[in-house]
Chains A and B, each alone.
Chain A
Amino acid sequence: DAGVIQSPRHEVTEMGQEVTLRCKPISGHNSLFWYRQTMMRGLELLIYFNNNVPIDDSGMPEDRFSAKMPNASFSTLKIQPSEPRDSAVYFCASSGGTARNEKLFFGSGTQLSVL
């Protein structure tokens, strides 16, 4: 399996622009997570889906952020409009194990820089 695939690897944009991050989870995994990582705050869960349904979006910073999972093999995280404080590494992860032994598989991340 190719693992969790994220695109793009790097994104540089100007403040106010729309940014769309993409994720393809591991085939057969039923849970998908979007995380943001910064030096100051570490890894923060933004939202997670179970069987394509958003379960917990309490970590989404504000209305500028939205996430969708139209099918089991694809998810997007959109920021509109983007701001410099959104600069971070955004990771997508998927899992499919039991609750006790659940293991997260992360994608390589998207390094977002908003100028």
Chain B
Amino acid sequence: RKEVEQDPGPFNVPEGATVAFNCTYSNSASQSFFWYRQDCRKEPKLLMSVYSSGNEDGRFTAQLNRASQYISLLIRDSKLSDSATYLCVVRSLKDNAGNNRKLIWGLGTSLAVNP
């Protein structure tokens, strides 16, 4: 089983639709969670961190379910510009040197918003 799993999609939705992605992780001791966005042929960019209580940033809502070991991203009123690949990222435990830096990346979920 992969450490971080995502449905690759593609998700094809019309403008204005609400779409949700889930991501599951295998390490129950994972500490931090993020969603990154990657446009075609571009670099990944942080979309939002995911906090235990859930958090919202405009049309985007992120949720964490530690018991079931998944995080979700909800996009409301989707725009054409939301078309991209959404990468789920989980931070594992500290490494042997005590550094808390190792990020585990999902393969991404592709979203296409159509006019």
Cβ of A102: which chain B residues have Cβ within 8 Å of it? 101
A55-B95, A100-B32 as given contacts; A45 in contact with B43, CB under 8 Å: no
Contacts of A56 on B, CB cut-off 8 Å?
Answer: 95, 97, 99, 101-102
Q: Name the residue of chain A whose CB is nearest to the CB of B94.
A: A99
Docked Cα-Cα span, A102 to B103, in Å, equals 11
Interface size on B, residues (CB 8 A): 19
Query: Smallest CB–CB gap between B11 and chain A, Å?
Result: 18
- For the complex, give the distance between the alpha carbons of A50 and B101 in Å: 10
Residues of B within 8 A of A99 (CB): 100-101
A103 contacts the other chain (Cβ, under 8 Å)? yes
Q: Which residues of B contact A45 (CB under 8 A)?
A: 102-103
| Interface contact B42-A108, CB-CB below 8 Å | yes
Residues of A within 8 A of B50 (CB): none
Bound: A55/B98 CA distance, A? 10
Q: Does B45 contact A (CB under 8 A)?
A: yes
Q: Which residues from A are CB-within-8-Å of B102?
A: 45, 56
A91 contact set on B, CB distance < 8 A? 43-44
Residue of A nearest to B2 (CB): A42
Starting from the known contacts A43-B87, A99-B100, A104-B103, 20 additional A-B residue pairs (CB-CB under 8 Å) come to: A31-B101, A42-B107, A42-B108, A43-B44, A44-B105, A45-B103, A48-B101, A50-B99, A55-B97, A55-B99, A55-B101, A56-B97, A91-B43, A91-B44, A100-B32, A104-B44, A106-B45, A108-B42, A108-B43, A109-B43
Q: B residues engaging A (CB < 8 A)?
A: 32, 42-46, 49, 87, 95, 97, 99-103, 105-108
CB-defined A-B contacts under 8 Å, sample of 14? A31-B101, A42-B87, A43-B44, A43-B87, A44-B105, A45-B102, A45-B103, A48-B101, A50-B101, A55-B95, A91-B43, A104-B103, A106-B44, A109-B43
Interface of A with B (CB < 8 Å)? Answer: 31, 41-45, 48, 50, 55-56, 91, 99-104, 106-109
